[in-house]
Amino acid sequence: MSRWRDRLKQLVLLPLVVAAVGILAYFTFRTTLQVDTLRQQSVLEATLGLATEKANRVDRQIIDQDNVVVAIADPARIEVLAERWLPTAQRETPSVRAILVLDESRTVLAFASRATGALAEEEGFRRLLVDRMLGDMELGAQAPDELRHLHREYAQQSYLLSYWQRIHEGRRYLVVAWHDIGRIVRETLPMLYAEPTTPGAPVPPRSSAASRVNVVDEEGRIIYGPPLRSGEFTVGVRFPTTLYNWRVQVSPLASEELASRVENRRLLEITMVSLSCIVIIVGAIAIVLVAEKERRISALKSEFVANVSHELKTPLALVRMFAEMLQSGRVSTEAKKKEYLDIIVRESERLSALIENVLDFARLERGRGSYEFSEADVGDAVTRAANVYRYRAEREGVKLVLDVEPSLPRARIDERAIQLAVVNLVDNALKYAPGGETITVRACGHEGGVRVEVRDQGPGVAPEDRHRIFERFVRLSGARDEKGSEKGGLSQSRAARASQSPVRGSGIGLALVKHIAESHGGRAWVESELGRGSTFTFTIPARRVLPGLPGLPDTEGDSEAQSAAQSAAHSAAHSAPRAEAESAIRASSEAKASDTSQPDRVAGG
């Protein structure tokens, strides 16, 4: 129930964390975009304010000149209009080319012009004014003394007129000021739009690359200034009242760099937020996976403790039972005494081997291996380890075949550890492949090193379990192969007995094999085919021995570890399987039959 509750917490916690991260990412992205938008808006507002200020400056200068004309063009004194205006025209009204006064019948009463020489252009303007321009002026809706402007193209030429109506002695007069567009473009715009310079310095040319301003008409044709690339920071504003068919365009200096910087900042912020969210999600998933792994390891450790306790209980019970029988003197014959003593020795050696495995595994868990490397013959170590198991294999009706190639390359190894690895693999083959008739132990050269194989004829290992079985505490089920039922005799009965009883073990043997192989610079793996057996393999690379190179020191308990290792190697040959324990119990039952006063003791396991 607790396991399901923990899993339910994890299944609920992870989606909640992901949802929280998603909400955080959403609001962070939105805030980032809003800040970016506000940043762009501030730049655009500043640019718009600059464009508006420049357009207003031109408007104010033209209107200031119009106000001068209003004071000069008095209908009561139209006969002296030229004398009053021309002397100050260059200084006070530089852009005004001509001033005209018309009556209600559109008759030109006065005409003053700054032009010298031929007056053909002025005469053409007078006809154009009377014939076409007056019709485009909204004179009927204009109040007296109200200043208005007409900006339009006639015959593909741009004209700017300022006009107002005045009443004198009951008569309505129309005063028109003709502004020279060319002079405005050549003189007024450069003076107003040039970048600030020191007093007395010449005005920069209109094509100056430092300019941020240009003026374009309705069709986008440039009237003044350099071309500007259209971008998100380029702003255009029409002139308010005078040159209203034109617009001023302003682009900040290095606008492309500014736009690129804003875009890079946006990408950086979005990337950082995305990476933060990914890290949070990955961290949460990692925490859940680590917690699940620790929970699984904890369960495996509990199972490991139960298995080890069971493995310890069986030999201890047998040793105590037969020792008490010998102590009581109820064993009548020397043959029985020798048989009971052999059982006690075998069970105590199996107990020592189990304890040594546990101690080796404990050192592995602490990361403190006790390997003593020296130059040795791997084939000799494999031979000794296989020979100590030959007796047990014969008792179980299994043929143990040893195949060691001659002249194997020598290597720096820990002989005790290599023997322990082979012993664990042979023991594993006897336990998990009881229906097989042959176990082959082979040592051969491999890529300049040595390859050790233990092949059985068991049920095989499923593909999904081939990597997992080398993990600590992992124990697969017993002989699952049905082919043993097709064989007769001893193999059939042995497979049948194994299938009815669980496989005994602690689940750390193959983990030790893998650790030993990797500590020697090699690796361990299994090749298997379901129904046809398995081949467990580990490799040891050959190493050149340097003169005076010491082996790795044992970290603790050198003498105790060596003696325990030797007892482990010898005990493997006499490890009693469950069938042997049953025969021992049957032997003890025969002895007990002669003495009914002795209470029964049952061997655990």
Highest-pLDDT range among 388-402, 484-498, 516-530: 516-530
The verdict on residue 242 lying in a domain is no
pLDDT above 80 for 219: yes
Which CATH number covers residue 160? 3.30.450
Q: In this structure, is residue 402 part of a structural domain?
A: yes
**Total number of domains constituting the chain:** 2
- For residue 261, the surrounding DSSP H or E stretch is helix 255-328
595, pLDDT greater than 60: no
Q: Is 486 exposed, middle or buried (0-12, 13-18, 19+ CB in 10 A)?
A: exposed
- Could you tell me if 458 and 437 are in contact, meaning their C-beta atoms sit under 8 angstroms apart? no
What pLDDT score does 243 carry?
92
In this structure, are 463 and 329 located in the same domain?
yes
**Cα–Cα distance measured from residue 493 to residue 496, given in angstroms and rounded to the nearest whole number:** 5
Residue 365 parent element (H or E)? helix 334-366
Measured between alpha carbons, how far is residue 43 from residues 40, 210, 382 in Å? 5, 19, 81
Same domain, 314 and 179: no
Q: Residue 68: inside a domain, yes or no? A: yes
174 plus 312 within the same structural domain: no
Secondary structure (H, E, C), 215-233: EECCCCCEEECCCCCCCCC
- Is 328 domain-assigned? yes
Least confident of 40-54, 355-369, 512-526: 355-369
186, 206, 236 — which closes off a domain? 186
**Residues 374 and 492 reside in one and the same domain:** yes
Q: Which of 213-217, 256-260, 305-309 has the lowest average pLDDT? A: 256-260
Q: Is residue 18 part of a domain?
A: no
Q: What is the CATH number of the domain that holds 312?
A: 3.30.565.10
Query: Is the per-residue pLDDT at 246 higher than 90?
Result: yes
Q: What CA dihedral angle connects 303, 308, 314 and 315, to 10 degrees?
A: 170
Task: Report the range of poorest mean pLDDT among 3-7, 62-66, 74-78, 409-413.
Answer: 3-7
Cβ partners under 8 Å of residue 139, min gap 6 = 165, 174
- The answer to whether residue 244 is domain-embedded is no
Query: In whole angstroms, what is the distance from residue 215 CA to residue 188 CA?
Result: 12
Of 173, 147, 172, 174, the C-alpha closest to 162 is: 147
Range of the domain at 515: 295-593
Share of the chain above pLDDT 70, in %: 73
Q: Using CA atoms, how far apart are residues 569 and 564, in angstroms rounded to an integer?
A: 9
Residues 70/164, Cβ–Cβ less than 8 Å: yes
The residue written with tokens 């875009």 in the block is 263
Pair 596, 590: CB distance under 8 Å: no
In a domain, 111, yes or no: yes
Per residue in 429-452, pLDDT (tens digit) is 888 776 668 899 999 998 888 999
167 and 304 assigned to the same domain: no
Last residue of one domain, picked from the residues 151, 186, 221: 186
Answer yes or no: do 458 and 337 share one domain: yes
pTM, rounded to two decimals: 0.44
Q: What average pLDDT does range 233-245 have in this prediction? A: 89
Q: Per the structure block, which two tokens stand in for 248?
A: 């001023």
Q: Is the pLDDT of residue 567 over 70?
A: no
Q: Look up residue 215 and give its amino acid.
A: V
Mean pLDDT, the chain, rounded, equals 76
Q: What is the mean pLDDT of residues 25-29?
A: 78
Virtual torsion, Cα 499, 503, 507, 508, nearest 10 deg = -120
Give pLDDT tens digits for 475-506.
665 434 333 333 333 344 444 444 444 555 56
**Helix H or strand E segment including 553:** none
pLDDT tens, residue by residue, 330-347: 888 888 888 888 888 878
Q: Are residues 530 and 401 in the same domain?
A: yes
For residue 436, being part of any structural domain is answered with yes
Strands 213-216 and 222-224: antiparallel
Among 161, 186, 211, identify where a domain stops. 186
Same domain, 303 and 182: no
